[in-house]
Amino acid sequence: MKPYQIGLYEKAMPDFLTWKEKLECAKECGYDFVEISIDETDAKLSRLEWTKDERAEIIRLMQETGIPIRSMCLSGHRKYPFGASDPDTRKRSLEIMEKAIQLADDLGVRIIQLAGYDVYYEESTENSRRLFAENLAKATIMAATKGVVMGFETMETEFMNTTQKSMKYVSLINSPYLGVYPDAGNLTNAAKTYGTSVLDDMETGRGHIVALHLKETVPGKFREIPFLTGHVDFDAVIKKAKELGIRRFVTEMWYVKQENWKDDIKFACHTMSEKLNNTFNRG
């Protein structure tokens, strides 16, 4: 068995591709699986309403191509957060959560990455954090019922930009179905801001880190930085990940209408796989 799995974030590919083309692209570029995006746009949220036949077709395509969808980046809660002051928004946040868990169950998705925001488009307060915790507990029960694991993404905002901050809520909920799914790039930026160590921060999540986003960043910028042009020490992060028992990785990158988008995907897979191989095949 391969000692690790590496996945491709769906948003690295153009939206105009069909699902078959996306799965074939991941296979061609050397990936083991795809991470589906359910973001705050109506187009992505509509996937939660896929019919039984539409879900069956995705499963058929996974079987045909040999590339499964095995994780979900659920960032739709940025617009509809657990901690929102508006009760209708909070109600919608739980509806999204329930439908996302059902979609994961239907497709065979193992891990849902949660956006680490109590709120995003309004000010974080003691009350928003209280509401966040209350609804997170409800969401975790939903996930446990279906046997789907959730993990917090460490974000770019103060609320949850480190593993340690994520662990506050993981410890509060205290369920095997809620862990941390950190972002190496965001952790690196936070460490630079606080003058701390990425590796020490990852250590605080020992036993609770379910997967890891491999993403490049530079100080103050969190997106669309080409791999190996930023300040993330991927070798050290991957070595620490292995030590912590992490075996699932996803390269996070975006299609931004560049002509050579597939070359960028191949480069990401090649460079990160080389680093993963150097770590996991050593001794």
Per-residue pLDDT of 102-146, as tens digits, reads 999 999 999 999 999 999 999 999 999 999 999 999 999 999 999
Q: What angle do CA 220, 225, 228 make, to 5 degrees?
A: 110
CA angle, 232 as apex, 74 and 228 as ends, to 5°? Answer: 100
Going by pLDDT thresholds of 50, 70 and 90, the confidence category of residue 283 is low
The total of other beta-carbon atoms located within 10 Å of residue 123's CB is 7
Average pLDDT, the chain: 97
pLDDT at 153: 96
Closest listed residue to residue 149, CA positions, set 184, 109, 207, 193: 109
Asked if pLDDT for residue 2 goes beyond 80, the answer is: yes
Cβ atoms within 10 Å, residue 242: 16
pLDDT at residue 125, rounded to an integer:
97
Which pLDDT value is given to residue 134? 98
* pLDDT bucket at 282, cuts 50 / 70 / 90: confident
What pLDDT is recorded for position 223?
Answer: 87
Helices (H), the chain: 19-29, 42-45, 52-65, 87-107, 126-146, 163-173, 184-194, 198-203, 234-243, 261-280
- DSSP assignment of 140-209 equals HHHHHHHT-EEEEEP-SSGGG-SHHHHHHHHHHH--TTEEE--BHHHHHHHHHHHT--HHHHHHTTTTTB
pLDDT at 184: 97
Burial 180-195 (b: 16+ CB within 10 A, else e): bbbbbbbbbbbbeeee
Is a pLDDT exceeding 80 seen at residue 26? yes
Q: Is residue 35 classed as helix, strand or coil in its secondary structure?
A: strand
Q: Give the 3-state secondary structure of residue 230.
A: coil
Whether the CA torsion 243, 156, 108, 31 is positive or negative: it is negative
The per-residue pLDDT for range 202-250, each reduced to its tens digit, is 999 999 999 999 999 998 888 888 999 999 999 999 999 999 999 999 9
The pTM of the full predicted model, rounded to 2 decimals, is 0.96
Write out the H or E segment, with its range, that includes residue 213.
strand 212-214
The 10s digit of each residue's pLDDT in 62-87 is 999 999 999 999 999 999 999 999 99
